[in-house]
Amino acid sequence: MSDTNPRLFDVDWATFKPWKVAPVRHRISDHPLLQLPPLIELSSRLAKHGRIRTHSNDAYAGTAFNHAPMLYPNQRSPEETLANIESAKAWMSLLNVQTDEIYRGLVDEVLDDLKLGIDRFDPGMTYRGGWIFVTSPNTVTPFHMDKEHNFIMQIKGNKRLLVWEKDDLEVLSEEARDLFHASHSRDLVTWREEARARAHVFELKPGMGAYMPSTAPHLVENGDNTSVTVSFTYYTDATRRDSRLHSMHQRLRGWGLSPSPVGARPFLDSLLDSLAVGTSHLQHLADRTRGREPLLDSVRYAHALVS
Ligand SMILES: [Fe+2]
């Protein structure tokens, strides 16, 4: 096997495209850190920093993703929930596991391996993150999108994953992405049942997974079993540029303009991106002058901003 092929994953690199959804196979289900006892210990460490997201199984596909924990609270502690996950009627995500000294090693082990394949198509991997989802039977991760590229892998139990392409503007509008990149608001992310017909549907079992590009909307539905799923995420040169452009387009919308979708007008995009890069350099300089270190997205690990 060549040293440019990941060992832990099977991806069809001949057809892989960084902005297209793709199936993945993996060999990490038996990893010692992904078994329930160490995950309970991890939940205890992360809870001290507020790095747990949880809600009950009352959340559904159309629940506003950002507000699900508040709308449908899970009253049990993380440790109690995980120890009784079969009956807890709960959805739980261990957030930003790269902030944990032990699990940072797992994030690097996985992403160093994937990077061997990814770098040829999509260089500049930064902002590495890890997310572990432990869920009771019949729970749902509501329809939403994230900023990072994402390799999502099934570790235990079965799950149905629905993913839509980033460029499917019928399912999620350009305006929704512009707003999301500019402010992290998912207020324009709205679910319609008709969207199911346009999804890539993955019936995930342990050893299976998928690649979801940045802002590819997705929805996850547990079967009648408990489930452990992991996501390993990152930015690249291309995702950082895409995010800058959506943010710039949102600014144009604020001035009453209606910009074409990102990518539709490459020359204008280049101009806007140069402006965005220049502006952010000036902003960082101003931050440092005031004694504040800017939060850069070009760092190796994701800042634990999401909770
Ligand atoms: Fe997600």
Question: 276: CA distance to ligand 1 center in Å?
Answer: 26
Whole-number pLDDT of residue 3 = 63
**Residue 11 confidence (pLDDT) above 80:** yes
**The residue to which tokens 């690649």 are assigned:** 211
What is the average pLDDT across 63-68?
91
Question: 255: CA distance to ligand 1 center in Å?
Answer: 31
Lowest mean pLDDT among 46-55, 154-163, 280-289: 280-289
Whole-number pLDDT of residue 306 = 59
Question: 3: CA distance to ligand 1 center in Å?
Answer: 30
**Residue 1 confidence (pLDDT) above 50:** no
Question: 144: CA distance to ligand 1 center in Å?
Answer: 6
Q: What average pLDDT does the chain have?
A: 94
Question: 234: CA distance to ligand 1 center in Å?
Answer: 13
Question: 290: CA distance to ligand 1 center in Å?
Answer: 35
Whole-number pLDDT of residue 114 = 96
Whole-number pLDDT of residue 51 = 96
Question: 78: CA distance to ligand 1 center in Å?
Answer: 20
Lowest mean pLDDT among 11-15, 86-90, 131-135, 287-291: 287-291
- State the amino acid at position 134 in one-letter form: V
Cβ count within 10 A of residue 4: 11
pTM score, whole prediction: 0.94
Residues above pLDDT 70, as percent of the chain:
98
**Following DSSP, what letter does each residue of 139-199 receive, concatenated?**
-EEEEE--SSEEEEEEEES-EEEEE--TT-TTTS-HHHHHHHHHH---TT----GGGGGGS
What is the average pLDDT across 122-136?
98
State which H helix or E strand residue 253 sits in. Answer: helix 237-254
In a 13 Å sphere around the CA of 15, the CA atoms on its Cβ side amount to 9
**Rounded Cα gap, residues 1 and 187, in angstroms:** 46
Any idea how long the chain is? 307
Gyration radius of the chain over CA positions: 19
Whole-number pLDDT of residue 191 = 96
Question: 220: CA distance to ligand 1 center in Å?
Answer: 9
**Residue 248 confidence (pLDDT) above 70:** yes
